[in-house]
Structure 1
Amino acid sequence: MRYYQLREGSAPRLVAKTEGSLYDLTAATDQLRTFEDLLRAAAIAKESIDAIADRLRGDATVLSSDVLDETAPSAPVSSGEVWAAGVTYRISEEARKAESGMPEMYLDVYESDRPEVFFKATPSRTVGPDESIGIRGDSEWDVPEPELGVVLFEGEIVGYTVGNDVSSRSIEGENPLYLPQAKVYDKCCSIGPCVRSAESIDDPHDLEMWMTISRDGEVLYDESTRTNEMERSVEELVDCHVAHDAVPDVSVLLTGTSLVPDEEFTLQEGDEVSIGLEEIGTLSNTVVEV
């Protein structure tokens, strides 16, 4: 089942989508307005989120599928932190070696037992579908980074989403110690359009992922891959993230960059980036300078 958070002023509405229908779960109970509300209800009832949603569908309002086009969803997870893993795909390892004056360090991470896991964004730095992602005004080389996002509740995997780990390759390439500045800034991350429950995805390690980048109506980039190209498992990355840290009750872990534009490409204001993940959905954003 897919879960969307619709914008409704300061009070969002939680919507669940099955293969054929869209249900307004907030209409069934006003206490269920966010995905986090659903997670806590499931924890109290000791049931899965899909089981709770199934039970509420009889009292929920059935919505037209056009609602998702007419009312753009917000980021489906609105609390907690976003973290990210790096150098989990061969293409990412090659790209980061190419940008860096210390290329050997990225090969070491790709082949080592310990993965790279770093802080990415707070909710205030994270945007949702159809909102603007940011590129830094002091950066000369900026790229989107399409990633499978793992949604965690109390350290356990509860769902998956699409993530864009927008990054400054020029700042990171200048010195690896500048990684926080290359990664963490206003509008540096987008997630959405929904959370797909973990129990409804057979294998997160075998999903098609694609990305298109358009400028002034012209497609500049259009490529796809599969998550089975990831060197590490989702479980391994999650274990590294939660084992020795005070992780918030709700968090998102991005699992690494799967597609990288050519070195000659850099994002510009007004570009449109769309990232799709099989069985989850497509996350689209425009670009602004921050």
Structure 2
Amino acid sequence: MAQIELPEGSWLGRVERAGIGPAIVTLRDGSLVDVTCRAAPTVRDILEMDDPVAWLSTAEGETIGPLDAGHSWLAPCDLQAVKACGVTFAGSMVERVIEEQAAGDPDRAAEIRNRIGARIGDSLSNITPGSTEAAEVKAALIEEGLWSQYLEVGIGPDAEVFSKAQVLSAVGHGADIGLHPISTWNNPEPEVVLAVNSRGEIRGATLGNDVNLRDVEGRSALLLSKAKDNNASCALGPMIRLFDDGFTLDTVRGLELDLTVTGKADGFTLNGHSSMREISRKPEDLVAQTIGRHHQYPDGFMLFLGTLFAPTQDRDTPGGGFTHKIGDRVTIACPELGRLENRVRLSTDCPEWTFGIRVFMANLAERGLI
């Protein structure tokens, strides 16, 4: 894996320390500092503080080495739920409609994309979800037989918010990411992920890969959980960059993400891009649709904001589109948030997830942290 480089900022993450367990780390002068303590045994506790940036800047800790010293990175969250928003960009919205129309068949998708994809994309790119104009477009598309459940959550009043991964099941930078073995059409999804506390306050952001099985979800939206939540199918990291004077929600609104997939077996290279400037819904609105009087998250949550990226580049056969191959290297990079890099394997070949909440609590108790 490539070395991690991070800009100046307020950083919060987790690494696995051999013989100890998960450690909460921050970045100071190019080195990682373990700040795990009884006052803050979890990332959740730090995000609940009135001023997590101030606490991190003065917290006592142990320097455990340079940032690029080959640490065993964990996902930078711990007790937070991992939620995700779908169909938040017009471009990816069109691809979801195509998946549905093709019933998960990538060969049919090429024909459908040529027939209706551009038309739908052109008509939806500047529409505000839930607006009167959106309702009028919906009525017109229904008359033409082009309406879809994906368009409903794309331009309708209610966003799609789903559970991406179980608490503590996400993997970090450098880890293997998993594909369910039943899938033959799948792709990475480069996304900005917000760190939100129990009060609904957005504390910072990180990078995420919302690994997606296009054929499974395309067969039926009711298979969303099977398409999204599998062993090692969610990657986050490398660290959460907390909001401060130099990095705010306004910064997040302008982030540009680059994706590179490099094939181990065939040397294939896929380059993609996702621009937060083209998101259809405001990040704060997506947070408000996730947490409130209707639904509480006492330990906070991580929220994937969706992606503009939807790969159509052919990898093997003309019209066949893109799908992963085992051994692919996936890199998601953003100047403000660093680089998240993972290797693709089958979920059944990735290390099993065994470090759940009960084991985590026992570990913290044994270390005298709770």
Tell me the TM-score normalized by structure 1: 0.88
Q: Which residue of 2 is the match for residue 251 of structure 1? A: 301
1:183 is displaced (CA, Å) by 1.2
Matched, 1:104 2:147: yes
User: Match for 1:86: what amino acid?
Assistant: G
Q: Is the 8 A contact 2:255 2:334 kept in 1?
A: yes
Q: Is the 8 A contact 1:85 1:253 kept in 2?
A: yes
1:25 is displaced (CA, Å) by 4.2
Q: Which residue of 2 is the match for residue 24 of structure 1? A: 33
Q: How many residues align?
A: 280
CA distance in 1, matches of 2:345, 2:202: 32
CA distance in 1, matches of 2:223, 2:32: 45
Helix, strand or coil: the match of 1:96?
helix
Equivalent residue runs for 1:1-290 within 5 Å: 1-9=10-18, 10-17=20-27, 20-26=29-35, 29=37, 32=40, 34-40=42-48, 42=49, 47-56=50-59, 59-61=60-62, 64-65=65-66, 67-101=67-101, 104-105=147-148, 106-154=150-198, 155-199=200-244, 200-202=246-248, 203=250, 204-216=252-264, 218-243=267-292, 244-262=294-312, 264-290=321-347
Q: Is the 8 A contact 2:34 2:64 kept in 1?
A: no
Q: Deviations over 1:25-55 (max 9, x none)?
A: 428x565454234235x2xxxx311111122
1:125 is displaced (CA, Å) by 3.3
Q: For the structure 1 residues 260 and 283, does the alpha-carbon distance in structure 2 shift closer, same or farther, using more than 3 Å as the test?
A: same
1:162 is displaced (CA, Å) by 0.7
Q: Is the 8 A contact 1:269 1:287 kept in 2?
A: yes
User: Match for 2:295: what amino acid?
Assistant: D
Unaligned runs of 5+ in 2: 1-9, 104-145, 313-319, 348-370
1:273 is displaced (CA, Å) by 0.6
Helix, strand or coil: the match of 1:162?
strand
User: Match for 2:335: what amino acid?
Assistant: E
1:62 is displaced (CA, Å) by 5.0
CA distance in 2, matches of 1:32, 1:284: 28
Unaligned runs of 5+ in 1: none
Percent identity of equivalent pairs: 29
Q: For the structure 1 residues 288 and 93, does the alpha-carbon distance in structure 2 shift closer, same or farther, using more than 3 Å as the test?
A: same
Q: Is the 8 A contact 1:23 1:60 kept in 2?
A: no
CA distance in 1, matches of 2:190, 2:173: 14
